[in-house]
Amino acid sequence: MKIVVIGGTGLIGSKVVTKLGEHGHEAVAASPNTGVNTLTGEGLAEVLTGAQVVVDVSNSPSFEPAAVLNFFETSTGNLLAAEAAAGVGHHVALSIVGTELMPENGYFRAKIAQEQLIEKSGIPFSLVHATQFYEFVRAIADEATDGNEVRIAPVRFQPIAGEEVSQNVGRVAAGKPLNGRIEIAGPDQYQMDEFFRQALTGLGDPRVVVTDPNALYFGTTPGERTLVPGDGATLGTIHYRDWAAAQNAAGR
């Protein structure tokens, strides 16, 4: 089965391509550096020829609210139009747990707009809502840093390894369209401030984590359960401590 992975050279996309290929699928990585640009439409018709499934794990180069909204609306609109013309039968998109719970967040609002376009497109679809990736621990801490302090709200947090995100996305892509969503998360739930306190210590990061109920998460104050899945979520098996140990052993 030919499966085109939009954003297929990135963190998650490259893993999805590899895993689909290992299971015998013709997995094609599509991104601007392979000549496929969903913002301009360049290369879309060519790469989608003969494709049965499209997986979209692309991301906006800017997180500024207007820019990210424009990216997802334009990119998704172009992609869905090209899929309809090519007769693609399944559209899979990676999104975020809690998008509808924090619509005042510019990035989450853009993902909601993306999902609405997909749902209204008429193309059978599957949405994979994931929690935050282990790989983004430093980036999240950097966003929350004020001087030498990392200000984190004491809310629930359940991150997941990128490896298991790609496994789930690949599994969904190879299956029948859900015409709905699944939620995926890591095996362990934490209090967010405590998680970052331990994680940064493990990284040898000297910054001090401060528990702050009013701390912002990328510009918005999260609720107690905004960032964790509901009942029935698919949970990974890779614990953060084991993932971090493997990263340290690999010198990353």
Tens of pLDDT, residue by residue over 82-138, are 999 999 999 999 999 999 888 888 899 999 999 999 999 999 999 999 999 999 999
| Tokens of residue 180, six digits | 């709905």
- The pLDDT value recorded for residue 235 is 98
pLDDT of 55 higher than 80: yes
Tens of pLDDT, residue by residue over 145-166, are 999 999 999 999 999 999 999 9
Nearest CA to 54 out of 121, 5, 124, 116 is that of 5
- The pLDDT value recorded for residue 243 is 97
CA distances, 185 to each of 96, 130, 137, 164, 189 (Å): 10, 6, 15, 9, 9
Give the confidence band of 167 by pLDDT, cuts at 50, 70, 90.
very high
Tens of pLDDT, residue by residue over 171-180, are 999 999 999 9
- The pLDDT value recorded for residue 172 is 98
User: Burial level of 198, CB count in 10 A (0-12/13-18/19+)?
Assistant: middle
Q: Which positions ≥6 away from 61 have C-beta within 8 Å?
A: 71
In 84-159, which ranges are E strands?
A: 90-96, 125-130, 145-146, 149-152, 156-157
Give the confidence band of 75 by pLDDT, cuts at 50, 70, 90.
very high
Give CATH superfamily name and number for 2-249.
Answer: NAD(P)-binding Rossmann-like Domain (3.40.50.720)
| Tokens of residue 111, six digits | 């993902």
Tens of pLDDT, residue by residue over 199-213, are 999 999 999 999 999
Is 21 in contact with 27 (CB distance < 8 Å)?
yes
- The pLDDT value recorded for residue 89 is 98
Is 55 in contact with 17 (CB distance < 8 Å)?
no
pLDDT of 251 higher than 80: no
| Tokens of residue 213, six digits | 């109920």
- The pLDDT value recorded for residue 61 is 86
